[in-house]
Amino acid sequence: MHIGVLSDSHGNIPMVVRALEVLRDRNVQTVIHCGDIDDAATVAYFRGFDAHFVYGNCDHDRAGIRDAIEAEGLTLHEPFGYLEFDGKKVAFIHGDDHRRLLELERSDAFDYVFYGHSHQAAERRTGRTRVINPGALQRARPKTILILDLAGGDVQFIAVG
C-alpha cells in the first residue's frame, strides 16, 4: 500500500492539482494533508481519494474547511490524525504545536509521524518512529510531496514544482 503525504498547500490550486495528478498516476488512493490547506475551495480537488486532513495555523476558515471536507465525504482529524494500515501506525499533525509534535514523536506509539509547517522536506528517526515532513506546495523550492510504500518502508520525496 502506498500513501501520499502533502502539506502547506496554502490555496495554491495549480500545485495541488499537479501533486494529486502525480499521486493518481502512481495509483495512490490514500492521501494525508498535514495542514494549511488555507481555503475550502481546495478541498474539492481531493475528490476520489481517501483523504485525511488536519488543520494548520493558517487555516482560519475552519468551519468552511470542515464543511467542505464533510461535503466531499473526506475525513478531518483534530487536533492530530491517527490511522493504521497493515499493522503500521501513522500519526500526522501540522507541526506548529511543537509540544504536541514532540509528544507524538517521543511516544514510541507510531511507526510514522508526518508533519508540515516548516515548508522544508525533512526526515529523522526517534526510537522506532520515522518523523517526516513532506515539504510544501507553497513558499518552498522545490515544492515537494512524498509517497510512502508501507510494505517496504520506502519514502520517495517528489518535486512537483
Instruction: Specify the CATH number for the domain of residue 117.
Output: 3.60.21.10
Residues 6+ apart with CB under 8 A from 38: 9, 10, 11, 56, 58, 59
Domain count, the chain: 1
CB-CB neighbours of 9 under 10 Å: 26
- CA-closest candidate to residue 33, choices 152, 145, 155: 145
pLDDT tens digits in sequence order for the chain, 161 residues long = 999 999 999 999 999 999 999 999 999 999 999 999 999 999 999 999 999 999 999 999 999 999 999 999 999 999 999 999 999 999 999 999 999 999 999 999 999 999 999 999 999 999 999 999 999 999 999 999 999 999 999 999 999 99
The pLDDT value recorded for residue 95 is 98
The pLDDT value recorded for residue 20 is 98
Place of cell 490514500: 30
The total number of residues written for the chain in this structure: 161
Q: Which domain holds residue 28?
A: 2-159
